[in-house]
Amino acid sequence: MKKIGIIGAGVMASGMARNFLEHDIEVYIWNRTRSRVEPLVQCGATVCASPKDVATKADIIIECVSDTPASRSVWLGDEGILAGADGNKVLIIASTVSTTWVDELAKTCEDRKLPFLDMPLTGGPKGAETGSLCLLVGGPHEVLGGIRQELELVSSHIFHFGQAGMGIRFKLMQNALSSIQINAAAQASRLAEKAGVEPSRFYEAMHVGNMAPASPITTSVLKDIANPPTSANFSIKMLEKDLRYAQELAQELGMTFDLLDDTLQDFVGSKENPSEKPELSSVVNMYRKFDRGR
């Protein structure tokens, strides 16, 4: 098995690292905040001094950070991933970032003859923890085929969409559609309550009756509204970021996507209370927003 390098130590990156380690794969890891990688070091990962150091030591390098600026910072510069890469490595960007940045990075790797894939992830924290992520891949078939054995250790499905950059294009549309459903479910539940239908009954009828709007994400939203979770199941801040990237793509292609624009506006307007930590924003904030009106 090839040696794995992980850049980042968020939920998704850490989940992948743990699953690789559980299969006795060598894992090299770097994160800007050293304390975040200590649990992985205790599981057997080797912490590195820089992204360049990871790229020098590993065979497959997977970058998974928060946004485009963070991603650019770990790829570029004297201590970046590209500085330690060569044609024997496979470089993967797994972050949800802008298509412009992915295309730029893909072109740079092509010019330098560096094997490259874009591979956004879906499946959430549970998928990362259980090794059942869906990998959304763009890049050459032969590059993907050469590392499929390793990728299958952290995933239940691998979808290949074509050339590099196509993975992130799918991911942004998937996140846009999910966000629109979240927004619609929150508004429908609030309207139903104002009309006299309790949120718990609204959720129960939709879920148990397997009614047409009851997609997995819709029922999850309605359940959380009826029984608010003690911790967030997603960050509005992160989804807002993804919607902005999707909006940029739509504008670039000359398309008007009204539902996306409206949902982004509602997400911006549903920010958490000043006393709450930003990462604790959740679907309940969407629901609360409609007490105030649009």
User: What is the pTM (predicted TM-score) of this model?
Assistant: 0.93
CA–CA separation, 284 and 294 (whole Å) = 16
Cα atoms found within 13 Å of the Cα of residue 192, Cβ hemisphere only: 19
| List of domains in the chain | 4-164 (3.40.50.720), 169-292 (1.10.1040.10)
Task: Give pLDDT tens digits for 95-149.
Answer: 999 999 999 999 999 999 999 999 999 998 899 999 999 999 999 999 999 999 9
Helix axes 199-208, 216-226, angle to 10 degrees: 150
Long-range pairs of 35-44 with CB within 8 A, sequence gap ≥ 24: 36/9, 37/9, 39/14, 40/9, 40/14, 43/17, 43/18
pLDDT digits (tens, 9 = 90+) for 15-38: 999 999 999 999 999 999 999 999
Strands 116-118 and 4-7: unpaired
Residues 6+ apart with CB under 8 A from 53: 28, 30, 79, 84
At residue 41, does pLDDT exceed 60?
yes
CA triple 129-34-106, angle to 5 deg: 70
Using DSSP, state whether 100 is helix, strand or coil: helix
Q: For 147-171, how does the pLDDT look when each residue is reduced to its tens digit (9 = 90+)?
A: 999 999 999 999 999 999 999 999 9
